[in-house]
Structure 1
Amino acid sequence: MIPAADPSPSPVSILDPNKAPQTLGEWFVGIPLRIILIVAISSIALWLIRRSIRGITNRVADGTPWLERGVLKPLGESAVGAVLDKANPLANARRAQRARTIGSVLRSTATIVVGGTAFFMILDTLGISLAPFIASVGVIGVALGFGAQSLVKDFLTGLFMLLEDQYGVGDVIDVGPANGTVEAVTLRITKIRDADGTLWYVPNGTMLRVGNKTQGWATAVVEIDVDYFADLDQVRSLLAEAAARVAADPVTGSHILGEPTITGIEKLSADAVTLRLKVKTSPAQQWEVARELRVAARRVLEQAHVPLAGQRDLMATHEAHVASQQRDPHDTPLDDIAHAHEAREAPATSSSDD
């Protein structure tokens, strides 16, 4: 005889994954707890990563950690450390700009990676198939890629530009349609202030070539057009004297890095001979040195009575006017001619004696 079945239900094992949980606590230990752990761990990991990136980039941007660590800490707190920190403000601004921009990129990348990983883990925990979702994301990504090619190009170009340190804040650059001083550099655009005060916003992806005029070192170039019949050997010696005067200046001379070079005849016309004076200078100081060289060259040429191109008659008139103010009232016109001739012969005589 077959025994009758027990009408009471059999107990459900909580270890059986195919059986539904019987209590709220058992249900919470399952999927909700996993999601909470994923969110908590990913949030803590993202916070630690972003904090580390921010700390490193801030130290690099400030430029102070090496003078404030270990045995170098007393130097960083001294007046010498302050002078070293302020020795090159343009370099400090460039370093800070690059560090903060790269730090922003790294923090955004960390957020995307950690957040995306946590999102996919939550979907997997909920039992949602990831294949259709990934396929949809891939299609959307391709569509956005085609629609935002210029934006992606700007970001990639800006990233490589920052990593390679092609230019930075304070540099004078030429990018074709705009040239001037760089005021700000981001991953997408570069802000350039030209000589007229116009602020140009140039997308990084549109820069086919960049000329940096203030990186490493520069050259001050001054071209002098002298009279066709001037003594070129005398003019070269006078230009060398002008360069020596500028080099002896305590302010401008500190920006000169080498000996001046005076080339031969650069241009020759019916009334002028062009000589070129070149001096190697510190970056971004070539224009100031060139201005001082022009002032010194004009002074020595005028003192030696060497006229510039087309100025022979004007120089003679000027010398006659100066002589008339210093003229002895008892002198005759013949005496004036003799004095003017002696004034012109004096520099040549002194040069031959040297």
Structure 2
Amino acid sequence: MLAAPTAKPPSPEPTCLDDWFCKATYEMTDSAWFAESSYYVLVKPLRIIMIVLIAMVARHLLNRTISRLVRTTSETSVPTILKPLRERIPTAPPDPSGIYPERRRQRAEAIGSVLRSLVTAFVFSIAVLMVLKELGFDLAPLLASAGIAGVALGFGAQSLVKDLIAGLFMLLEDQYGVGDTVDLGEATGVVEAVGLRITSVRDGRGVLWYIRNGEIIRVGNKSQGWAMVVVDMPIGFARMNEATEVMRAAAARVAEDPELAPDFVDPPEVLGIEQITVDGAVIRTVAKTSAEGQLAISRALRRRLAEALEESGISARIAAARTFPRRAAPADEGETGQGGAT
């Protein structure tokens, strides 16, 4: 008698049939183990991959936006974030020296590099935290430890953080750039390098100063925008009207010089008597110029004004007045007579 075939025992059903993904996996594979572990075998890895992909896409889009902002700085329309502070204020006077595309491009590239680094660190930090959460790590102790470490780092490196933040704002506000002549208090000279932490300035004696950005309290930029040339010329006790007309004509000839005319923002103006000294009056002449042409125009004005005063004879009269001073007042007659009697 043939033995009856033994029936195959039914496989146990998974305990997660209330979840649609587990139920669908069980129906496709007919495996309770695979259905129960599908969340850790399929869902978790897919989520981690999606987090990494989204982070990479977000970083790419943000970096692309920053790069586009940097590229537009060489054009006429500049994003507000990359404009110097004086150009963002509606009531601020325009910059007479015009726009310097090369300097703006260099400053924008530096700012763009910093922003790209910050974006990369921010996006991937969030992505790492989300991946750790998917892997089952408890983020509360990790975040608490990171907070304590951040506080300790902030106290220990607060001067470094101060320098970095100050350097970033100096770049954003375009307080100075490479090649500018600046007065930073202790150091005055030409800027050779601008970094997020250190600014290098070479003074008139050739000494290279390394100044921490966080220690810079005030900045006097002598190369930004326009400059004012002030020339004070002594005229002795000559007639003021005559000396003023001579100096006005000489200043007008300087403004008409084809080599110097492009550097004038406003024509030179003879203001009149600035002060009175024992040697006579001093007349002041001022001229508004570009920062680059300030020294050349200052030298030319002094030379032309001195030549004009000499040609008109005023300088000779000044020299004569100094060579032959006025006589002192005679002494009292009674004292003179008494002295003669003795």
TM-score by shorter chain over 0.5: yes
SS of the residue corresponding to residue 135 of structure 1 reads: helix
Between stretches 200-209 and 113-122, larger displacement belongs to 200-209
Cα shift at 1:110? 1.0
| Residue 118 (structure 1) aligned with residue 127 (structure 2) | yes
Q: Which residue of 1 aligns with 2:246?
A: 238
Q: Which residue of 1 aligns with 2:51?
A: 38
2:278 to 270, 276, 287: 270
Between stretches 201-210 and 177-186, larger displacement belongs to 177-186
2:106 to 82, 97, 107: 97
Q: TM-score, normalised on structure 2?
A: 0.72
| Residue 183 (structure 1) aligned with residue 196 (structure 2) | no
| Residue 282 (structure 1) aligned with residue 290 (structure 2) | yes
Whether the aligned pair in 2 keeps the contact of 1:240 and 1:262 (CA below 8 Å) is yes
Cα shift at 1:23? 10
Cα shift at 1:220? 0.7
Distance in 1 separating the partners of 2:17 and 2:57? 31
Whether the aligned pair in 1 keeps the contact of 2:252 and 2:267 (CA below 8 Å) is no
Q: Which residue of 2 aligns with 1:57?
A: 70
Q: TM-score, normalised on structure 1?
A: 0.70
Whether the aligned pair in 1 keeps the contact of 2:51 and 2:130 (CA below 8 Å) is yes
Distance in 1 separating the partners of 2:116 and 2:133? 26
Cα shift at 1:182? 2.9
Whether the aligned pair in 1 keeps the contact of 2:272 and 2:284 (CA below 8 Å) is yes
Whether the aligned pair in 2 keeps the contact of 1:94 and 1:168 (CA below 8 Å) is yes
1:217-276 alpha-carbon deviations (Å, 9 max, x no partner): 2211112234x3333332222211220110110121222232433334434433354322
For residue 152 of structure 1, what is the amino acid of its counterpart?
V
For residue 188 of structure 2, what is the amino acid of its counterpart?
N
Would you say how many aligned residue pairs link Structure 1 and Structure 2? 288
Cα shift at 1:146? 1.0
2:167 to 158, 162, 165: 158
Q: Which residue of 2 aligns with 1:127?
A: 136
Between stretches 257-266 and 202-211, larger displacement belongs to 257-266
Q: Which residue of 2 aligns with 1:331?
A: none
Unaligned runs of 5+ in 2: 1-7, 23-31, 78-96, 325-342
Q: Which residue of 1 aligns with 2:12?
A: 10
Whether the aligned pair in 2 keeps the contact of 1:183 and 1:192 (CA below 8 Å) is yes
For residue 251 of structure 1, what is the amino acid of its counterpart?
E
Whether the aligned pair in 2 keeps the contact of 1:97 and 1:168 (CA below 8 Å) is no
Whether the aligned pair in 2 keeps the contact of 1:35 and 1:122 (CA below 8 Å) is yes
Whether the aligned pair in 1 keeps the contact of 2:14 and 2:36 (CA below 8 Å) is no
Q: Which residue of 1 aligns with 2:299?
A: 291
Cα shift at 1:108? 1.5
Q: Which residue of 2 aligns with 1:138?
A: 147
Aligned-pair Cα RMSD in Å:
3.5
For residue 54 of structure 1, what is the amino acid of its counterpart?
S
For residue 159 of structure 1, what is the amino acid of its counterpart?
L
- The percent of aligned pairs where both chains have the same amino acid is 43
Q: Which residue of 2 aligns with 1:29?
A: 42
- Relative distance call for 1:247 and 1:89 in structure 2 (3 A) is closer
For residue 198 of structure 1, what is the amino acid of its counterpart?
V
